[in-house]
Amino acid sequence: MRLLETDLQVLTRELSLYLEIQVPVGLFGSGVGLSLVLGFSAAFACYYFSSIAKKPQLVTASDSFSCFLQEHCPVVTETYYPTVWCWEGRVQTLLRPFITSRPPVQYRNELIKTPDGGQISLDWFDNNDSICFPDASTRPTILLLPGLTGTSKESYILHMIQQSETLGYRCVVFNNRGTAGETLLTPRTYCAANTEDLEAVIHHIHNMHASAPFMAAGVSMGGMLLLNYLGQTGRETPLMAAAIFSAGWNVFESAESLEKPLNWLLFNYYLTTCLQSSISRHRQMLEKLFDMNLVMKAKTIREFDKQFTSVMFGYRTIDDYYVDASPCRKLKSIGIPVLCLNSLDDVFSPGHAIPIETAKQNPNVALVLTSCGGHIGFLEGMWPRKCTYMDRVFKQFVQAVFEHGNQICSM
């Protein structure tokens, strides 16, 4: 509380000094204008520091995991100060792709074959200039999973690689089938429930660098896919730990939230067109099995999943698919340390659908819940171009796992 009062005093003093210089005392013929501006600014500061800037909730069943995070990943216990002029969830979600920078990253592409005759595109950031880990065979490696229609070019992926580069780590981006410009060799793309491609990628990377510490980070649908994989494999995985950002926990709740009029207008319709665009390039291959004209008429993600995704992966109904795709149902079975960051104002993953009680039953899971941040937003600072709260959580957690993982990996 004393810190809050200090922050308010400092902010009010700085505003007063600024306004004394910039605003004439005779504004509107008297000092009333200055008083109004100062009063509004003080009220805004009070509201921001009391209702917007808050410490995240840290939810975990394990005292040792909690202590580990407080010691080695302290950002999850610090107050998150959202950007003062765009703290609302939808605004953060919309602005993040346009505001944040796009660090230059040079990839090495690899195409790997799958048992069904398909291929998967991996983009490697080898970090061969790593000073901390000059031996490539033991260089810590992070597998990155982008969101629904995302690839290695997404700004949040580029930021994760930039953070990893400073620590000396290697990164590999798993591009879902057909999304990164490669040819679709079979009439199959991807979904949040089917983990076969992810399993193939994980074992491929592990076989190439068996002596290297290995973990993964998934964003949005990439996080859902990673959670579903971990829920199926338990401890039987080469991964030491995982980080999850803005995952949708219950697909039914996510779909319902995104179908509300404003959310449909801002997000749902656009993402549906992105999904349609991603498969239209492979139309000649896919129309062997699907009525592509019907698929292209979808106006929501749910309609697209009903006509395309659920059919492709053999589900009897879309409800069957959504049940299987919801990570909340597999959370109890996760057998390695997992840190999950969500914002309670994320319309893609509504706060009421986050499985807090289930997380309290698994000592391997820690939820970090912010009051603001939106979907993959987490903007902070007056001009949040270079680094977000999510970037800082990612950097501290992966460093904590690779440098002190023995403290939690034996839980």
Catalytic residues: 220, 346, 375
Report which of 140, 157, 313 is spatially closest to residue 211, judged by C-alpha positions. 140
Question: Phi, psi (5° rounding) for residue 70?
Answer: -65, -35
Q: Does residue 376 contact residue 93 with C-beta atoms inside 8 Å? A: yes
CA 321 vs CA 147, 194, 223, 263: distances in Å:
18, 10, 17, 22
The pair phi, psi for residue 80, each rounded to 5°, is: -95, 120
90 within 8 A of 347, measured Cβ to Cβ = yes
